[in-house]
Amino acid sequence: MNKLHLFKPSFRQQRTLELSKVLLKQNRFQTTWKTKVAKLAKSKPRIYSPGGSHSLFSEEIGKSLATRIPMAIILLYCLNHEEYSPIPFAFDFMAGPSMLPTIFPAGDCYLRLKPWFLSVFHKNDTDVFKVGDIIVFKDFRGGYACKRICGMEGDIICIHGEYVDLYKNEPDLGIREVPNIERDAWKTNVVSENGKSTMIIPKGNIWVEGDNPLHSIDSRHYGPISKQKILGKVSYRIWPRRRMHVKDDFCFMNRNRPVPLSEDEMFGKKYNVYKIPFTK
C-alpha cells in the first residue's frame, strides 16, 4: 500500500499565510466601511456653515430642530404663563418702598404660591386668602403689585386706611394724590359718619394696603380689587437669606402688619432709600 504523505509548510510559508489572512480581513473591513460612508453621504447630504469651513449637522437634524425649537418656545411660554402653567409657584423680584419694613426695595427674591395650588389645601375658595396675607395681583394699570390684605368681602373698613390716625397732621391723611386715577368711581357705597368714611367691601373683592402707607398706591386710591386679579401669595423670602442688621428677621412672611415707618426711619442706609432734594 502506498503511504500518503501530507504537505507540511515551512515556518516561512506558514507565517506568510497568516499575514495574508490578516490583510484580507482588513481589506474587507475597509471596503465595507468605505461603502457605508459613501451611502450615508449620498442619502444624507451635509449642511455647511456660512464660511464653508466645516459641516454643522445633517439635513435630517436641521429639519428636526426646525420643528422642535418652535414647540420648545410654546412650551416655555405655557410654563411661564400665570393662568396655564402647571408649575405651582413662581419667583418674584420686589422693588419699591411701598411694603417697608416687611419687603425691602432692593430687588429681593420671594417665592409666590399660585391660587390654584393654594386651593388644593382648602375646602372653600373663601379660605384661600385671609387678612394679613401678602399677595401679588394685577393693579388698575395691568401691572404687578404687591400689597397686604387688610379686609375681605363683607368687612367694614375705613377708606383712609388702617393707620389713618398716624397721619392726622397730613393735609391728605397720608393718601397722596395720584394722577390719572378715577378715585371717585368706587366711592358710591361710602358712608361718612362722625368724621370717618367707611364702606362695606363688596362680594368677591378684597381691600389691600401697603405696609408703608405714605409711599404706597393701594385700595385707598383705586378701591377694592377683585379676587380674580390675585396672582398668588408671597410666602417665603429666598434671597437674601439673612439680614444681620434687622431684629427678628425671618424668611417666612409674617401675617401681622407692622406699624408704619416714619419719614426719619425710612430714609437712610438701613433700607437703602434716600430722599432726593427738590430743585427747581
Binning the chain into helix, strand and coil, the percentages to the nearest 5 are 30, 20, 50
Q: Are residues 63 and 93 in the same domain?
A: no
Count the Cβ atoms, other than its own, within 10 Å of residue 158: 18
> Would you say residue 10 lies in a domain?
no
Closest Cα partner for 130 from 216, 228, 256? 256
Q: Are residues 25 and 164 in the same domain?
A: no
Given this model, what pLDDT does residue 262 score? Answer: 83
> Would you say residue 82 lies in a domain?
no
CA 152, 156, 159: angle at the middle one, nearest 5? 95
> Would you say residue 270 lies in a domain?
no
Q: Are residues 140 and 212 in the same domain?
A: yes
Q: Which domain range does residue 29 map to?
A: 21-77
Q: Please write the tens of the pLDDT for every residue from 142-185.
A: 889 999 999 999 999 999 888 887 777 766 666 666 666 656 66
- Do 135 and 228 contact (CB within 8 A), yes or no? no
Q: Which of 109-113, 129-133, 166-170 has the lowest mean pLDDT?
A: 166-170
Catalytic residue among 114, 147, 227, 233: 147
* Residue 193's pLDDT band (cuts 50, 70, 90): confident
Closest Cα partner for 236 from 92, 132, 86, 104? 92
**Does 64 score more than 80 pLDDT?**
no
Return the DSSP state at 258.
P
Q: Are residues 47 and 92 in the same domain?
A: no
Count the Cβ atoms, other than its own, within 10 Å of residue 112: 20
pLDDT (mean) for 44-65: 53
Given this model, what pLDDT does residue 110 score? Answer: 95
Q: Are residues 118 and 175 in the same domain?
A: yes
* Residue 49's pLDDT band (cuts 50, 70, 90): very low
Whole-number Å distance between alpha carbons of 189 and 3: 130
Which CATH number is 142's domain given?
2.10.109.10
Q: Are residues 155 and 230 in the same domain?
A: yes
> Would you say residue 156 lies in a domain?
yes
Query: Percentage of residues in the chain with pLDDT exceeding 90?
Result: 31
**Does 257 score more than 70 pLDDT?**
yes
Q: Are residues 104 and 215 in the same domain?
A: yes
Q: Give the count of alpha carbons within 13 A of 240, CB side only.
A: 11
Q: Are residues 128 and 227 in the same domain?
A: yes
Domain count, the chain: 2
Helix residue ranges, H only, the chain: 11-43, 59-80, 115-118, 219-222, 263-266
Indicate the residue among 77, 96, 114 that finishes a domain: 77
Q: Are residues 48 and 93 in the same domain?
A: no
With b meaning 16 or more CB within 10 Å and e meaning fewer, what string describes 227-255?
Answer: bebbbbbbbebeeeeeeeeeeeeeeebee
> Would you say residue 105 lies in a domain?
yes
Q: Which amino acid is at 97?
A: P
More confident residue, 231 or 11: 231
Give the residues across from 137 on adjacent strands: 145, 230
* Residue 29's pLDDT band (cuts 50, 70, 90): low
Q: Give the count of alpha carbons within 13 A of 155, CB side only.
A: 17
Q: Which of 123-132, 180-189, 240-249 has the lowest mean pLDDT?
A: 180-189
Q: Are residues 107 and 25 in the same domain?
A: no
Find where cell 399660585 sits.
Answer: 114
Given this model, what pLDDT does residue 54 score? Answer: 44
Whole-number Å distance between alpha carbons of 148 and 140: 16
pLDDT (mean) for 5-30: 65
pLDDT (mean) for 118-135: 89
Q: Are residues 249 and 143 in the same domain?
A: yes
Q: Which of 10-24, 98-112, 160-174 has the lowest mean pLDDT?
A: 10-24
Given this model, what pLDDT does residue 188 score? Answer: 77
> Would you say residue 4 lies in a domain?
no
**Does 24 score more than 70 pLDDT?**
no
Q: Which amino acid is at 256?
A: N
Whole-number Å distance between alpha carbons of 64 and 134: 45
- Do 127 and 178 contact (CB within 8 A), yes or no? no
pTM score, whole prediction: 0.71
Concatenated DSSP letters for 74-116? HHHHHHH-TTT---SEEEEE--SSTTTTTS-TTT-EEEEE-HH
Whole-number Å distance between alpha carbons of 261 and 163: 11
> Would you say residue 72 lies in a domain?
yes
pLDDT (mean) for 133-142: 92
- Rounded mean pLDDT of the chain? 79
147 carries an active-site annotation: yes
> Would you say residue 157 lies in a domain?
yes
* Residue 78's pLDDT band (cuts 50, 70, 90): confident
Q: Are residues 65 and 120 in the same domain?
A: no
